[in-house]
């Protein structure tokens, strides 16, 4: 059987995001006039780039750090309709999201999204079963037959058989239902690569610092290449800055939306505020259950769901008024999650069980009208001035709809007929042929000399692009070794992250292409030492740069750890801010990374807070 991937990408463009592609993108950004320029490389922005490119438009995307480095790598990773939105009678939102769930599972990215069985424990007899039962019947009906199995009712002993960890003192029975889960950071990066395959021009580490105007009209943006040596303002001449011309600009900057709006001036109809959500990771053996568990917490709903050899628990939901780039989890956030999870499981978890922690910021819409709370989980699109569209709010699951709506809005300002969105029929890279490869995993294991488990893991991460990794290992057998300290991953994956997936720093590889930063007890410190030379080889780093990347990563882990011991947001933010992404530090660049790690928040560029 031949598992070679197609030699050309679906749209004829290059799907490889690497240093050469980035250099070429920067060259083109300075020379061409694009139909659409997108600000922000989260799932919304990357979705917009894909939507526009597949409608035949020329599109460029600018991301100030790494793809998915904002909220899109820090979500709850559920592709769901949101059972609780049914309680709020928001049927349209649930139906739309469940349709997206079904599309992703079946057509768009079956390699990246998988069904997850949930158990909903019932405390009360009678009414609670009727109430929840009616909700899941509706949920199943809206979800479309067959995408995931249907719900089932369980007795108390049936519930305990499925999830022995459930405390028996407050359990009267349970109902199981299905949702889906995604590796968000990998998914966003794959959307970006797919957009590139269809001809989109993408650049990470490209920060939008201003807008071009002709009269009132927005005609492009000013961009700073934050990897260029001395890229910040030096004297009166901005170094590493260029202008990018566009017929339409779309602001898809998530929690930074208002900051971008301020560059244009004036207030739009809605603003975006940040709400912090924290997740913790514990080893799989700490909770005995064959299903994910829905937990009714003090004031919201938490989920305990499987994540590889771990459980992921979360989330919190509190206003965040500090650094948008480095949201910090506090000791109190962690204790809140442990306290609420321990209400339903036994044996209880303690802080000693926590392997990893991550925090993200929800971009919640607030308007200047009564509809504010209704807006909060929906998305909104507006065009505050000619040439500019703003899209904000929403959730990960509905990114494709958000992208479609944003491009529809921008298209109205283009002087041409634009075809309707077709992303419903555009599988992401790696989706094509994936089910056949999964069925042939035994043969792939035999041919490659890797275990079946390893092949499965690779298929879940790369789909049919697995052949890129296997070919790399055939050429360089030493890269077939597991990463010391993060053995779920191979060294070849680190190399590939730099050559094909747009990673520019060690942190990008360990945190988003892999997840060593929250899946290992030492938060990826040992892995950093073994991965850095491999990434360095791919990106042409010298020994000094390799050492600086490792040192930066170590100090970042240290700062995160320190913040997680503190009780409140203000002190946790101060501790976390001590080590910032070098791409965000004024006067710093890749070339001066080492200095960046030693600088404190006092030298950073001011960043607007959402309040
Ligand atoms: C804790 C938590 C749990 C969640 N759980 C779920 C869930 O289970 N399911 C679900 O469907 N949704 C969930 N969500 C919501 C979902 O994650 C977000 O709606 C989604 O990721 C937002 O994506 P985005 O692209 O709009 O924003 P982001 O991912 O934040 O992207 C915005 C990008 O803009 C870039 N940017 C900012 N300023 C500039 C500039 N000047 N120049 C260039 N680039 C710039 C940033 O670097 C960033 O990468 C959750 C959110 C949180 C916080």
The arithmetic mean of pLDDT across residues 137-161, rounded, is 91
Please give the mean pLDDT across all residues of the chain.
91
Mutate to test the pocket of ligand 1, among 241, 253, 376, 610 (most ligand atoms within 8 A of CB): 253
What distance in angstroms lies between residue 179's CA and the mean position of ligand 1's atoms?
21
To test the pocket of ligand 1, the residue of 307, 388, 395 to mutate (highest count of ligand atoms within 8 Å of its CB) is 395
Q: Is 393 in the pocket of ligand 1 (CB under 6 A)?
A: no
535, two tokens: 């990434």
Rounded CA gap, 509 and 483, in Å?
12
pLDDT digits (tens, 9 = 90+) for 284-323: 999 999 999 999 988 889 999 999 999 999 999 999 999 9
Residue 602 in this model has a pLDDT that exceeds 70: no
Task: Answer for the pair 228, 369: CB distance below 8 angstroms, yes or no.
Answer: no
Which fold would CATH assign to domain 476-599? Answer: Helicase, Ruva Protein; domain 3 (1.10.8)
More confident residue, 288 or 592: 288
Ligand 1 atom closest to Cα of 360? 53
Closest-lying ligand 1 atom to the alpha carbon of residue 279: 1
Query: 345: CA distance to ligand 1 center in Å?
Result: 31
Confidence of residue 267 (pLDDT cuts 50, 70, 90): confident
Ligand 1 touching residue 413 (CB < 6 A): no
Q: What's residue 120's pLDDT?
A: 97
Cβ atoms 604, 585 nearer than 8 A = yes
pLDDT computed for residue 90 by the predictor? 84
If pLDDT is split at 50, 70 and 90, which confidence band does 46 have? very high
DSSP string, 182-240: E-HHHHHHHHHHHHHHTT-EEESSEEEEEEEEETTEEEEEEEEETTSTT-SEETTEETT
pLDDT value, residue 589 = 52
Between 120-124, 466-470, 523-527, the lowest mean confidence (pLDDT) is in: 120-124
What pLDDT does 5 receive? 37
Q: Which of 348, 347, 346, 320 is nearest to 333 (CA)?
A: 320
Separation CA 43–CA 195 (nearest Å): 12
pLDDT surpasses 60 at 594: no
Query: How, if at all, do strands 310-314 and 301-307 pair?
Result: antiparallel
Question: Among residues of the chain, what percentage have pLDDT more than 90?
Answer: 82
**Which of 40, 49, 305 to mutate to test ligand 1, by most ligand atoms within 8 A of the CB atom?**
40
- How much is the average pLDDT of 133-146? 87
Mean of pLDDT values over 363-378:
64
Measured between alpha carbons, how far is 352 from 343 in angstroms, rounded to an integer?
18
Where does the pLDDT of residue 269 fall: very low under 50, low under 70, confident under 90, or very high at 90 and above? Answer: confident
Please give the pLDDT value at position 231. 60
Domain boundary assignment for the chain: 10-72+186-270+377-425, 91-180+273-374, 476-599
Return phi, psi of residue 520, to 5°.
Answer: -125, 150
Among 25, 75, 394, 502, the mutation site with the greatest number of ligand 1 atoms within 8 A of its Cβ is: 75
pLDDT at 591 over 50: no
Which whole number is the average pLDDT over 97-125? 95
Residue 325 in contact with ligand 1 by CB distance below 6 A: no
Q: If you measure from the C-alpha of residue 418 to the centroid of ligand 1, how many angstroms do you get, rounded to a whole number?
A: 27
Q: Is the CB of residue 202 below 6 angstroms from any atom belonging to ligand 1? A: no
The band of 143, judged by pLDDT with boundaries at 50, 70 and 90, is confident
Residue nearest to atom 33 of ligand 1 (CA): 40
Residue 198 near residue 13, CB atoms below 8 Å = yes
CATH number of 10-72+186-270+377-425: 3.50.50.60
Pull the structure tokens for residue 371.
Answer: 């509809």
**What's the topology of domain 91-180+273-374?**
D-Amino Acid Oxidase; Chain A, domain 2 (3.30.9)
Judge residue 227's burial from the number of C-beta atoms within 10 Å of its C-beta, 0-12 exposed, 13-18 middle, 19 or more buried.
buried
Pair 595, 579: CB distance under 8 Å = no
Sort residue 471 into left (φ over 0), alpha (ψ -120 to 50) or beta.
alpha
Ligand 1 lined by 47 (C-beta under 6 Å):
no
pLDDT over 80 at 155, yes or no: yes
pLDDT tens digit string along 187-224? Answer: 999 999 999 999 999 999 999 999 999 999 999 999 99
At residue 135, the pLDDT reads: 93
Q: Say how many Å lie between the CA of residue 363 and the centre of ligand 1.
A: 7
244 within 8 A of 328, measured Cβ to Cβ: no
Q: Is 40 in the pocket of ligand 1 (CB under 6 A)?
A: yes
**Structure token digits, residue 300:** 């919201």
Mutate to test the pocket of ligand 1, among 71, 250, 406 (most ligand atoms within 8 A of CB): 71
Q: Which of 512, 396, 515, 460 is CA-nearest to residue 47?
A: 396
């Amino acid at each position: 059987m031949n598992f070679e991937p197609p030699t050309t990408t679906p749209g004829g463009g290059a799907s490889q995001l690497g240093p050469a592609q980035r250099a070429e993108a920067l060259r083109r950004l300075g020379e061409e006039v694009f139909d659409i320029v997108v600000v922000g490389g989260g799932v919304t922005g990357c979705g917009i780039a894909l939507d526009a490119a597949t409608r035949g438009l020329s599109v460029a995307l600018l991301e100030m750090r790494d793809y998915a480095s904002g909220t899109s790598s820090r979500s709850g990773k559920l592709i769901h309709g949101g059972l609780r939105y049914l309680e709020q009678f928001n049927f349209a939102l649930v139906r739309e999201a469940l349709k997206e769930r079904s599309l992703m599972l079946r057509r768009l990215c079956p390699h990246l999204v998988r069904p997850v069985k949930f158990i909903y424990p019932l405390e009360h007899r009678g009414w609670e079963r009727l109430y929840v039962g009616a909700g899941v019947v509706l949920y199943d009906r809206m979800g479309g037959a067959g995408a995931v199995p249907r719900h089932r009712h369980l007795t108390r002993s049936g519930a305990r058989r499925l999830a022995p960890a459930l405390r028996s003192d407050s359990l009267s029975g349970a109902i199981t239902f299905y949702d889906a889960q995604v590796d968000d950071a990998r998914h966003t990066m794959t959307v970006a690569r797919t957009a590139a395959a269809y001809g989109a021009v993408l650049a990470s580490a490209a920060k939008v610092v201003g807008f071009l105007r002709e009269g009132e009209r927005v005609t492009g943006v000013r961009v700073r290449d934050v990897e260029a040596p001395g890229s910040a303002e030096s004297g009166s001449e901005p170094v590493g800055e260029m202008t990018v011309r566009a017929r339409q600009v779309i602001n898809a900057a998530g929690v930074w939306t208002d900051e971008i709006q301020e560059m244009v001036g004036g207030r739009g109809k809605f603003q975006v505020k940040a709400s912090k959500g924290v997740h913790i990771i514990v080893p799989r053996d700490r909770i005995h259950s064959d299903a994910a568990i829905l937990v009714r917490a003090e004031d919201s709903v938490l989920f305990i769901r499987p994540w590889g050899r771990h459980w992921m628990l979360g989330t919190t939901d509190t206003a965040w008024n500090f650094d948008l780039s480095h949201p910090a989890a506090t000791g109190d956030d962690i204790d809140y999650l442990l306290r609420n999870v321990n209400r339903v499981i036994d044996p209880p978890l303690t802080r000693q069980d926590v392997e990893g922690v991550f925090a993200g910021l929800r971009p919640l819409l607030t308007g200047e009208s009564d509809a504010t709370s209704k807006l909060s989980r929906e998305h909104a699109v507006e065009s505050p001035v000619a040439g500019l569209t703003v899209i904000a709010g929403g959730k990960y699951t509905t990114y494709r709809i958000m992208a479609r709506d944003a491009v529809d809005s921008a298209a109205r300002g283009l002087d041409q007929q634009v075809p309707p969105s077709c992303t419903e029929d555009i599988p992401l890279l790696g989706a094509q042929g994936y089910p056949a490869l999964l069925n042939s995993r035994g043969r792939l294991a035999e041919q490659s000399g890797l275990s079946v488990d390893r092949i499965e893991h690779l298929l879940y991460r790369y789909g049919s692009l697995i052949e890129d990794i296997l070919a790399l290992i055939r050429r360089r057998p030493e890269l077939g070794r597991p990463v010391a300290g993060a053995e779920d991953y191979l060294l070849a994956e680190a190399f590939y992250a730099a050559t094909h997936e747009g990673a520019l720093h060690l942190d990008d590889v360990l945190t988003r292409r892999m997840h060593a930063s929250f899946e290992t007890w030492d938060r990826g410190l040992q892995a950093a030492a073994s991965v850095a030379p491999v990434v360095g080889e791919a990106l042409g780093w010298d020994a000094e740069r390799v050492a600086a990347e490792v040192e930066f990563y170590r100090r970042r882990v240290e700062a995160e750890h320190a913040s997680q011991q503190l009780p409140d947001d203000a002190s946790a933010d101060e501790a976390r801010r001590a080590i910032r992404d070098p791409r965000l530090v004024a006067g710093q660049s890749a070339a001066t990374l080492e200095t960046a790690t030693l600088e404190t928040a006092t030298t950073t560029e001011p960043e607007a807070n959402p309040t």
